[in-house]
């Protein structure tokens, strides 16, 4: 889980100093998180470095010279895991955008719950982090 906290803190630090590209360590979880952030439109994209196989270049997104992401808040940490059921996750939609790790579907954003997609119904999991925009 420390790779996730490193990823989120590197992205947040890059946004604070207005970098357009941030390098992070390549792990399966980081790739999945970046896929979710890209699908939701919070980053411009990412690419796996050819010269350094363990690095990923993350392209941060800005709109009118202001960052699209304001803050990424980690909720579940290795010393204190936070698990939620479907009923609680359904209510989290009103509080913002959260990323949930499920056993059936992998990483799911709470916006998917608000759309009532058939694939996400009745699925809970570990609450990883919150996206503040």
The CA distance from 88 to 55, in Å, is: 35
Q: Stretch 93-110: mean pLDDT, rounded?
A: 85
For the chain, how many structural domains are there in total?
Answer: 2
Pair (61, 77) in one structural domain: no
The CA distance from 36 to 109, in Å, is: 7
| Structural domain boundaries enclosing 96 | 73-132
Pair (18, 33) in one structural domain: yes
Pair (78, 128) in one structural domain: yes
Pair (7, 62) in one structural domain: yes
Q: Stretch 33-42: mean pLDDT, rounded?
A: 94
Side-chain half-sphere exposure of 87, counting CA atoms within 13 A: 0
DSSP 68: S
How many C-beta atoms surround the C-beta of residue 65 within 10 A? Answer: 6
**Residue 5's closest CA among 70, 78, 60?**
78
**Which of 68, 87, 110 finishes a domain?**
68
**Residue 100's closest CA among 115, 78, 85, 114?**
85
Does position 116 have pLDDT exceeding 70, yes or no? no
When pLDDT is cut at 50, 70 and 90, the band that residue 94 belongs to is: confident
Contact 53, 26 (CB under 8 A): yes
The CA distance from 81 to 90, in Å, is: 19
């Amino acid at each position: 889980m420390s790779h996730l906290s490193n990823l989120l803190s590197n992205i947040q630090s890059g946004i604070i100093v207005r970098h357009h590209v941030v390098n992070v360590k390549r792990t399966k979880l980081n790739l999945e998180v970046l896929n979710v952030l890209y699908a939701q439109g919070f980053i411009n994209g990412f690419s796996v470095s050819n010269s350094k196989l363990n690095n990923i270049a993350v392209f941060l997104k800005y709109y009118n010279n202001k960052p699209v992401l304001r803050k990424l808040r980690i909720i579940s940490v290795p010393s204190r895991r936070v698990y939620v059921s479907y009923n609680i996750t359904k209510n989290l939609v009103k509080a913002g955008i959260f990323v949930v790790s499920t056993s059936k579907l992998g990483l799911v954003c709470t916006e998917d719950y608000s759309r009532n997609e058939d694939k996400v119904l009745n699925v809970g999991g570990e609450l990883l982090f919150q996206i503040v925009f």
